[in-house]
Amino acid sequence: MSVQTDRVTLEEVSRLVVKGIENANTRAMYRKALGDFLIYWQGKLCPPLFQEVVESHKSYLTDRGYSPSSVNQRLAAIRRLALRAVDEGILSADHVAGVLRVKGVKKTAATQGGCLTTQQAEALMNVPDPRGKKGKRDRALLALLVGCGLRRSEVVRLNVEDVLKEGGHWQLVGVKGIYGKARMVPIPGWARVALDRWIRAARIRAGAIFRALDSNGEPTNRNLSAPMILAIVSGYGKQIGIEINPRNLRRTCAKLCRGGGADLEQIQLFLGHSSIQMTAQFLGRRENMSSPPNGRLGLRWRRTKKLAS
- Could you tell me the pLDDT band of residue 113, with boundaries at 50, 70 and 90? low
Q: pLDDT grade, residue 303 (50/70/90)?
A: low
User: Rounded to whole angstroms, how far apart are CA atoms 307 and 304?
Assistant: 10
What is the structure's pLDDT at 301? 57
pLDDT confidence of residue 75: 92
Give the architecture-level CATH label for domain 118-283. Answer: Orthogonal Bundle (1.10)
The separation between CA 303 and the C-alpha centre of its own chain, rounded to angstroms, equals: 61
Helix (H, G, I), strand (E, B) or coil at 176: strand
Q: For residues 57 and 41, what is the distance between their CA atoms, to the nearest angstrom?
A: 8
Quickly state the pLDDT bin for 309 (edges 50, 70, 90): very low
pLDDT digit string, tens, across residues 72-103? 889 999 999 999 988 888 888 888 888 999 98
Dist CA 63 CA 56 (whole Å): 11
Q: pLDDT by residue (tens digit) across 210-225?
A: 999 998 889 999 999 9
What does the alpha-carbon distance between residue 129 and residue 127 come to, in Å, rounded to a whole number?
6
Q: How far is Cα 270 from Cα 184, in angstroms, rounded to an integer?
A: 8
Whole-model pTM?
A: 0.59
pLDDT at 197: 95
What are the tens digits of pLDDT across the range 32-61? 999 999 999 888 888 888 889 999 999 988
Q: Could you state, in order of their start, the residue ranges of all structural domains in the chain?
A: 7-100, 118-283
**Helix, strand, coil percentages for the chain (3-state, nearest 5):** 55, 10, 35
Count the alpha carbons within 13 Å of 6 in the hemisphere toward its beta carbon: 9
Do 7-100 and 118-283 come out as alike in CATH topology? no
CA-nearest of 195, 203, 120, 198 to 150 is: 195
Cβ-contact 170, 164 below 8 angstroms: yes
pLDDT: which is higher, 115 or 202: 202
Contacts of 116 (CB under 8 A, 6+ apart): 124, 146, 242, 244, 248, 249, 252
The CATH code of domain 7-100 reads: 1.10.150
Res 162: pLDDT = 92
Local confidence band at 288 (pLDDT 50, 70, 90 cut-offs): very low
Mean pLDDT, the chain, rounded, equals 83
